[in-house]
């Protein structure tokens, strides 16, 4: 395991992913300490926090609309229920179009944010380690937002083990 292992878990390059996974699995104590420090259960942001960003999807300025869409994309699957709710209330055509695009992206299992890729791989590491402590960490992650990739993966891993 090296200083790049954390970054490698989020990579889209298979060689880096492999190096990160192997390094962490070969040093389970260090890997679990790193994951405990850097990865926390994922909770959806408050609606009031994202309402202004969703409103910006209808802004007159293209740059502001693009920035809002990018910010919402960073939340990945976690805010899918909020996006569905916003779509039902959207009246501006551009806002409607962008919300539909964000939802389409969230329904595509191939589209993941860096953090979502990292979450999937972190759960794989914890599954491979297979100790009581790694199981406790999975249980903590399983308490997050129901639509978050980390939550879903942790729940899946726990279900397989039981």
Q: What is the DSSP letter of 108?
A: -
Residues 53 and 103 occupy one common structural domain = yes
pLDDT, residue 111, reads: 64
pLDDT, residue 108, reads: 72
**What is the domain extent for residue 85?**
47-107
Residues 75 and 126 occupy one common structural domain = no
Residues 86 and 119 occupy one common structural domain = no
Secondary structure class of 147 (helix, strand, coil)? coil
Q: What separation in angstroms does the CA of 77 have from each of 9, 27, 42, 132, 154?
A: 18, 30, 11, 29, 15
pLDDT, residue 22, reads: 95
Residues 34 and 55 occupy one common structural domain = no
Percent of the chain with pLDDT over 90: 77
CA 36 from centre of chain: 16
Q: What is the mean pLDDT of the chain?
A: 93
pLDDT, tens digit, for every residue of 88-135? 998 899 999 999 999 988 877 766 788 999 999 999 999 999 999 999
pLDDT, residue 105, reads: 83
Q: What are phi and psi of 29, to 5 degrees?
A: -65, -45
Residue where one domain finishes, among candidates 85, 107, 129:
107
pLDDT class for 78, splitting at 50, 70, 90? Answer: confident
Give the count of domains, the chain: 2
pLDDT, residue 107, reads: 76
Residues 52 and 82 occupy one common structural domain = yes
Of residues 80 and 66, more confidently modeled: 66
Residues 33 and 51 occupy one common structural domain = no
Q: With a cut of 90, say whether residue 47 has pLDDT above it.
A: no
DSSP one-letter string for 6-37: HHHTT-S-HHHHHHHHHHHHHSHHHHHHHHHH
Angle at which helices 62-74 and 93-107 cross, to 10°: 30
């Amino acid at each position: 395991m090296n200083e790049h292992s954390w970054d490698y878990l989020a990579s889209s390059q298979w060689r880096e992913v492999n190096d990160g996974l192997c390094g962490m699995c070969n040093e389970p104590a260090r890997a679990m300490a790193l994951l405990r420090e850097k990865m926390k259960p994922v909770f959806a942001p408050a609606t009031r926090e994202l309402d202004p960003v969703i409103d910006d999807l209808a802004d007159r300025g293209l740059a502001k609309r693009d920035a809002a869409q990018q910010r919402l994309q960073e939340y990945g699957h976690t805010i899918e229920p909020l996006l569905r709710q916003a779509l039902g209330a959207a009246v501006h055509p551009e806002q409607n179009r962008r919300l539909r695009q964000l939802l389409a992206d969230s329904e595509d299992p191939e589209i993941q944010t860096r953090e979502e890729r990292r979450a999937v791989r972190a759960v794989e590491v914890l599954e491979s380690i297979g100790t009581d402590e790694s199981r406790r960490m999975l249980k903590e992650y399983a308490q997050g937002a129901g639509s978050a990739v980390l939550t879903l993966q942790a729940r899946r891993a726990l279900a397989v083990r039981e």
